[in-house]
Every structure is written in C-alpha cells, then in structure tokens.
Structure 1
Amino acid sequence: PFCSLVVTGMIALASYGFLVNRHNPSAAWYQYLGQFYYAAAFIFFGYLVGTLSMPVGIILISGPLIGMIFFELRYIVPACVVSVIGLITLTYASAFDLLPYAPIMPADRSDLTQVSSLWLLSFYVFVMPYMITAIYVADMTFGHWRERGIRARELSRTDVLTGIPNRRSVLDILEKEIARTWRHGPPLAVALLDLDHFKKINDTWGHPVGDAALQHATQLLQGTLRQCDTMGRFGGEEFMLVLPDTSLEGAQAMVERCREILEKNPMPQDDAPALRITASFGLTCNAHCMTLSSEQLIRAADDALYDAKRAGRNRVATTLWALSPSAAELS
C-alpha cells in the first residue's frame, strides 16, 4: 500500500506540474519540491531492492545527469546530497544488522540480503569518485549548452544594431501587455515613431552615419522612458513604444518629452557639424476600449504617425481606434 501511495504522489505531483508550468514556468518552490520528492521516493525504493544493487547504482548515476538537462544545478545538488546520505545511512544500518537489507528480496537468498562493512566501504570508495566526476562533467557540458541556448534566444529577439527588442520581440511584449490589460484593467498606450528624413541622412552622410543616428536616437529615448516601458525596433528607422499602465494624457506627455529630447540633442560627428535628428510620433491608447487587439492598436498608431508626417513632421499625433482619421488630435 505504501508503494502505491508513493507512486500516486509522483503522478499527482507531475500532473500538478503541468498546471504550474502554465502560470509560472520558473517556480522555484515546485522545482525543489519535485526534486526532494524524487529523492525520498528513490531512497524508499532503493532500500526495498537493496541500496547496493545494480538498479540503485544506475539510477544514482543517471538521475542527476538526466535532471541537469531539465533543471539548473542548484535544484539538483540538494536532492542528490539527500539521496546519497539517505542511501549510505540505510546501507550502514543494514551492514550492522540494524535494518534488514533488501526486504523485498526472498528471505532464503542470503547472498542477496546480506552485506559486510568491508564490501560496503570498498564499494563507495570506487563508486563515489566516479559519481562526483560524472556529475561535474555533465554540469559543465549541460551548463554550456544552456548558456548557448539562452544566448541564441536573446540574439533572435534583439536588434543587433541598437541592442533593443526586434520586431518579433516587441510584438510579443505588446501581446502580453494587452492580455494583462484585459485581466487587470490599466490602460495601455502604443506609439510608433519614425526618424524624419532618414533616407536623406543615409544619402548625404553614408550608412555608417545612419546607423550611428539610429543608435543615438535609441540611447536618448531609452534614457527618457520609464523602466516598465519597452522600446523596440519595428523596422528600418521606425520604432515602437509600449507604455503600460498609461492613459492617453500621460502617454502624450511622455512621447512629447521623447520628441523634445531628440530635437534638443543633435548627434556629434568627428570633423563635421552635429547632426540634427527629429522624429514623428503616432500615438494611440486603449483606455476607451480595453478589448482592442494588437493589430487595431498598431493600425491606429500608424494612422496617427501618417498624420504627424502630413502635418509637417517633428510632432506627435494621436488617434483612437474608435475615431475617424479626421478626428485625430495633433499636438
């Protein structure tokens, strides 16, 4: 019955893990709980079949190695230490006749159910160094793989030139903020900005200067935005600003500060006059309609950006999805 209870607990814990993974994939408490439950179950079943049996040895070596593929080392080491200490304690208890060895084995096979302290010592002298070395090498290997995977994911979501989120990444962030708005209610503002006459900068000064202008504008705007805001490169000289928990009025003030920062801080050049950089901004907000999709918000911001360019550039225009383009408010 106790074996059935342990197995049922493992199944229940694994099933609950799918639910935890949906809401908080990096939940540390669950990862520790899972590791220690596995360690306790391993000690229990290892005692039943014999702590020095081949199955226990195989699992003792392979368990941590497999675990390091899915978990970080900090979750595995404590459970591994508990498992080893538990098995050693039970084995010595059997060696000194305090507990029966391998109680699940047939009682008439003394060769399977008895262990001497000398044989026990020699076993751990040979096994433990190998186990420690194998775990160390595996951690180095898997850790390197994890770092490469994390780095590859970062590169795939980051614009190489400016170091900010690329189009795919900023769109993902926008979707998450929209979902949060639907659940909790604070309004969300979105702005698209386009550097004015950027083609002329490239044609006049060359593409290296154009790249430097993009980096200069990014640095200025990043320093103006709040920590909760996100700036992403939307394409070419166009950028997106995602401003969570921001009303239309608050977003207008924020975006206007961004516009002024660009206008008042020209980009210095070696052996050439400082390059004046300005931008046109299109702004929208979902405060009037929390159910707007990302496509609707982007289209409204794009319409507002077009209005800002048509009105002379270097300005902020706002448009709400429910309003017609002619009702856009220029500021």
Structure 2
Amino acid sequence: MHLSGSPTRPPRSRMPRALRTLGNPLEWTDIQKTILIFFPPIPFTLFYLYRVNGLLADPTVEPYISRPALATTHSFLVGILSAFSGLFVLWFVLRRREGTHDLFVRAVIHSWFVLMGLGAYLVGPFSTPVLIGYQAGGMAVFLLFDVRRAAQGGLVGLLVIVGTTILERAGLLLYGPVFSSVVFAGERPPDVWVYLNLAFTVVLTAAVLAGTGLAMALARARQEEINELLATDVLTGLANRRGLEDMLEREITRAQRFDAPLAVVMLDLDHFKRVNDTHGHRAGDAVLQAVGEVVASHLREVDAAGRYGGEELLLVLPEAELSGARAAAERVCAAIRALVVEHDEHALRVTASAGCAALVPGQPRSGEQLVRAADAALYRAKERGRDRVEVETDPAP
C-alpha cells in the first residue's frame, strides 16, 4: 500500500450545510455581525409600511386609528428604512477596511434599541408584538456581541421606553398615539385590532423561533466541533489520549454492566526514532499520519483507535475477547508492514509490535489496569524481536 504524507483531514464540520459557506456567525468579526442587527428589520419595516398604507386607505378604522399619528408612523418607518439603508452602505465600506470600528458597532446597537423604543411608544410598549420584537433583538445583541456593549444598548432602549412612559403618565405624551380611542373595553375587540395584532405577532414569533433555533443549532454544532477537537490528535486524526481514556472507561462500564467482552491493543512503531533521525521530523509526521489512516481503515465501526503517546497507539475493541484482539492486531500490523510512505523522494517503511489484554468475566479491572497489561504484553513483543503480537499471559488482576 502506497500513501503520501498529506495532512490528515480535520474533523467534519457539524454546521448546517446551508451555512458552511458563510461560516459560523458567532465567529464573525463585530463589523460583520452588525448586518445581522440592522438588516433583518428592513423586511419587517417594509411589511409595516404596507400595513400602515393599508390602514391609511381604510375608512373603517377611523374610530380607532389616529390618522395624524399614523402619518407620523409612516414617516417614522420611512426614516428607519433610510437609516438602515445608510448603515448598510457604511457597513459595506467599513467591512473592507482594517480596524475594530467600535464606534460604528456601538452606533448600530444603540440605534436598534432606540428605534425599537420609539416604535414601542407609537403603538404602546406593552403590546405583544413590541415585547416579542424587543426581547428577540435584545437576545440577538447579547448573543453576538460582548456583554458590556449589549448591556449599554439595552439600557439606552429601556431609558427610551421608561422615559416615554413617564412623560405619558405626566400627561405630556399620549399612550400609543396611533390609536385615537380605547380599542376595546370589556367588549369584543374590532377586527382591525385583532388582525393587525395577529399579523405582527405571527411574523415576529416565526422570526424569533427561526432565529433562536438557528442560534442554538450553531452553538451546538460549534460545541460538538470543539469537543471533537479536544478529543482528537491533530497529527493522526485519531483520538488523543484524553479521548481514548474517556472512551475506554465508558466501554469498561458498559462491558461490566452487561457482562460483555472487551479488549485493548497497545501498538508501537518499531525503531521509529530512526525515521526521525535519518529523514527528519516531517518524515516522521508523514509516517504517523499514514499509519493512522491504515489503522482506522482496518477496524470495525464499534472500535476506537487513538494516539496514546509518541508513536504508541491504543485500540479499544468492544465485544472482542483476547483471541479476537490478537487477530485484529495481526491484521493491523500486517497492513503497517505492507505500508510504503512516499516522502521527499524516499520510500519509508515501518513495522509495529503489539500487546493485547482483555477483561475477564467476574474480575473487574480499571482502564489503567487494562492498559498496563497490554503494555506489558507489548514489552514482551519488543523483547522477542519486534514486528509481532503478544497477549497478556495472566489476565487476572
């Protein structure tokens, strides 16, 4: 078998496929993240403009809707669209320039909360759509940016809501000036209120649920990738010692609970130091990468393999007795013996020695004891000429 010394592929990304080309938004730069704050409100603003235009043209809403206030709302929404469009143009310019652009980031965060606070004043801050939108935006800001800047923006938005409420209670402002009279007072609410409230609530709720689900999926995918990286040896692509020990302890617990067989194989490359001394450490790395691929390709799906240290590999073989472990080790050693690694116009060959140990029913053993037994068998294989497999002579603890 001929293999080149190409790097082992990194663990496969668990991010949703549709977002892999964009990357994880949680890992974007702050200037890139700001588009997630000021761009999503644009379609919502367009939707609200559509509804406002419809209300302005509907004579049946006259008893409930203040047309002057609604006209002000229309102007306010146009202003929001203009502001966000301007932010988008500025964002497009700044994202290509170096720097943190902290002032722009803060401006976007604060603008969002201020505009939400002013929008809440127009229709009443305690309506369901306002509460959903405000909470969703706040959650997104805290998720994307550092706590200090997010908290500052949130505080500014709360000050706007609290301030307008205080002025309303003092008689200086009207509560929900869009509505010219009480929408309902112990009676069936009018259709305009029901449908308007329902439309805003459904759209915002759907957006919040989609955004929350996406954020959680990204966070879970990232955490799984981190966990996999923490348990993976970067050079070989196999598990590292920490990951192996965790897997071994889980398999021992399972085997002892169900009285199932379990075996381990400690494998060491013979005279590996000569490869490093003669051809350099890059050559040694190429050999370890190739050996990792060979080992992984000769194991069952339920088996686990990893780099235990240096040129030592440990195989964990569930549902395998000592004889099965020996057979698996013989196959792996034969594949390594047949391996030829091409590196810098040199054909590199190595052999491996292996030691096997297994759990014995009725005789509990820890992972450390099992590995120690396999290591002792490996030592005998080295003493008896290398390039061979030995099994533990006395499996009792």
TM-score with structure 2 setting the length: 0.52
Give the alignment partner of residue 315 of structure 1, picking from 379, 388, 397: 388
SS at match of 1:215: helix
Aligned to 2:198: 124
Separation of aligned partners in 2, 1:312 and 1:236: 20
Give the alignment partner of residue 176 of structure 1, picking from 222, 227, 250: 250
Aligned to 1:301: 374
Residue 231, structure 1, aligned to residue 291, structure 2: no
Separation of aligned partners in 2, 1:307 and 1:275: 26
SS at match of 1:168: helix
| TM-aligned CA distance change 1:126 to 1:149, over 3 Å | same
Displacement of 1:123 = 1.1
Residue 212, structure 1, aligned to residue 286, structure 2: yes
Residue 145, structure 1, aligned to residue 219, structure 2: yes
The residue type paired with residue 249 of structure 2 is: E
Equivalent positions of 1:268-287 (< 5 A) are 268-272=342-346, 274-287=347-360
1:144-175: CA deviation from partner (whole Å, max 9, x where unpaired): 32322221111111111111111111111111
Displacement of 1:112 = 4.6
The residue type paired with residue 319 of structure 1 is: E
User: How much is the aligned-residue C-alpha RMSD, in angstroms?
Assistant: 2.9
Residue 291, structure 1, aligned to residue 364, structure 2: yes
TM-score with structure 1 setting the length: 0.62
SS at match of 1:177: helix
| TM-aligned CA distance change 1:112 to 1:198, over 3 Å | farther
Q: Which has the larger radius of gyration?
A: 2
SS at match of 2:365: coil
Residue 262, structure 1, aligned to residue 262, structure 2: no
Conservation of the 8 A alpha-carbon contact between 2:381 and 2:388: yes
Displacement of 1:55 = 11
Displacement of 1:188 = 0.7
The residue type paired with residue 241 of structure 1 is: L
Q: Which shows bigger deviation, 200-209 or 315-324?
A: 315-324
Identity of aligned residues (%): 40
Conservation of the 8 A alpha-carbon contact between 1:296 and 1:321: no
Separation of aligned partners in 2, 1:252 and 1:127: 65
Conservation of the 8 A alpha-carbon contact between 2:129 and 2:201: no
Separation of aligned partners in 1, 2:265 and 2:327: 12
| TM-aligned CA distance change 1:140 to 1:304, over 3 Å | same
SS at match of 1:111: coil
Unaligned runs of 5+ in 2: 1-125, 144-183
Q: Which shows bigger deviation, 298-307 or 126-135?
A: 126-135
| TM-aligned CA distance change 1:320 to 1:245, over 3 Å | farther
Separation of aligned partners in 1, 2:363 and 2:247: 17
Separation of aligned partners in 2, 1:227 and 1:140: 31
| TM-aligned CA distance change 1:112 to 1:316, over 3 Å | farther
Displacement of 1:264 = 2.0
| TM-aligned CA distance change 1:320 to 1:183, over 3 Å | farther
Conservation of the 8 A alpha-carbon contact between 2:286 and 2:343: no
Conservation of the 8 A alpha-carbon contact between 1:202 and 1:210: yes
Displacement of 1:204 = 0.7
Aligned to 2:260: 186
The residue type paired with residue 371 of structure 2 is: I
| TM-aligned CA distance change 1:313 to 1:289, over 3 Å | farther
Q: Which shows bigger deviation, 224-233 or 139-148?
A: 139-148
Q: Give the total of aligned pairs.
A: 228
SS at match of 2:209: helix
Separation of aligned partners in 1, 2:232 and 2:282: 20
Separation of aligned partners in 1, 2:396 and 2:196: 82
Conservation of the 8 A alpha-carbon contact between 2:263 and 2:356: yes
Aligned to 1:248: 322
Conservation of the 8 A alpha-carbon contact between 1:300 and 1:320: no
SS at match of 1:144: helix
The one of the two structures with greater contact order (alpha-carbon pairs below 8 A, sep at least 6) is: 2
Separation of aligned partners in 2, 1:267 and 1:289: 44
SS at match of 1:240: strand
Conservation of the 8 A alpha-carbon contact between 1:193 and 1:239: yes
| TM-aligned CA distance change 1:203 to 1:116, over 3 Å | same
SS at match of 2:185: helix
Conservation of the 8 A alpha-carbon contact between 2:129 and 2:200: no
Separation of aligned partners in 2, 1:112 and 1:204: 91
